[in-house]
Amino acid sequence: MTSHDPCDFSGDLPAYHDNELDARTRERLERHLPGCAACRRTLAGFAEADALVAGLADAPVPDGFAASVAALARREAESIGRAGTCGELASPLSRENSGDLSKGDFGDFYRECPEAGMLAFFERFFRLIIEFSSKNRSGRAYRGGHLDAFADCPPDGLSGAYLRLVSMGPARFAREGSES
Amino acid sequence: MVATDGRAETDLMRAVGAGDAAAFERLVARFQGPVISFLFRYAGDRATAEDLAQETFLNVWRAARRFDPDGGAKPSTWIFTIAYRLAMSELKRRRRFAEFRERASREATKNPAGPQAPGSVPDDEAIHRVLANLPENQRAAMLLRVREEMSYRDIAEVLGVSVSAVESLIFRARTRLRRELAEHIERTGP
Query: What mean pLDDT is predicted for residues A174-179?
Result: 47
Which chain A residues touch B if contact means CB-CB below 8 Å? 14-15, 18, 20, 45-46, 48-50, 52-62, 65-70, 72-74, 76-77, 82-89, 94, 134, 141, 148, 151
Between A92 and B175, residue with greater pLDDT: B175
pLDDT of residue A113: 57
Q: Which of B25, B36, B127 comes nearest A70 by C-beta?
A: B25
Sorting pLDDT into bands at 50, 70 and 90, what band is B134? very high
Please name the residue of chain B whose CA is at the shortest distance from the CA of residue A85.
B19
- What is the mean pLDDT of the segment spanning B18-33? 93
What is the tens place of the pLDDT at every residue in A23-53? 999 999 999 999 999 999 999 989 989 998 9
Q: Please judge whether A20 and B20 are an interchain contact, meaning their C-beta atoms are less than 8 angstroms apart.
A: no
pLDDT, average across residues B33-57: 93
Percentage of chain B surpassing pLDDT 70? 80
Place A82 in a pLDDT band, splitting at 50, 70 and 90: very low
The reported pLDDT for the residue numbered B103 is 65
What is the DSSP code (8-state) at residue A33?
G
Cβ <8 Å between A148 and B124: no
Nearest Cα residue to B81 out of B125, B31, B116, B128: B31
pLDDT over 80 (residue A135): no
B20/A84 Cβ within 8 A: yes
pLDDT number for residue B63: 87
* Alpha helices per DSSP H over chain B: 6-17, 21-43, 46-63, 75-94, 97-109, 124-133, 136-146, 152-159, 163-188
pLDDT of residue A50: 93
Q: Quick one: average pLDDT of A75-81?
A: 71
This prediction's pTM: 0.66
pLDDT (mean) for B101-125: 58
pLDDT reported for residue A7:
79
What is the band of B80 on the pLDDT scale with cuts at 50, 70, 90? very high
Cα A173 to Cα A77, A84, A87, A88, A179, distances in angstroms: 16, 17, 13, 13, 10
pLDDT confidence of B186, banded at 50, 70, 90?
confident
Residues A108-137, mean pLDDT to the nearest whole number: 59
Q: Which residue of chain A comes nearest to B122, CA vs CA?
A: A52
CA atoms lying within 13 Å on the CB side of residue A130: 7
Minimal CA–CA distance to A101: which of A178, A49, A173, A12?
Answer: A173
Q: Quote the minimal CA–CA distance from B19 to chain A in Å.
A: 4
Q: Of A81-90, A132-141, B43-52, B135-144, which has the strongest mean pLDDT?
A: B135-144
How many CB atoms within 10 Å of residue A39?
21
Which of B89, B151, B178 has the CB atom closest to A148's CB atom? B89
**Contact (CB<8Å) B36/A86:** no
Give CA–CA dist B70/B141, Å, rounded.
26
Mutation choice for B interface testing from A56, A74, A94, A134 by most B CBs within 10 A: A56
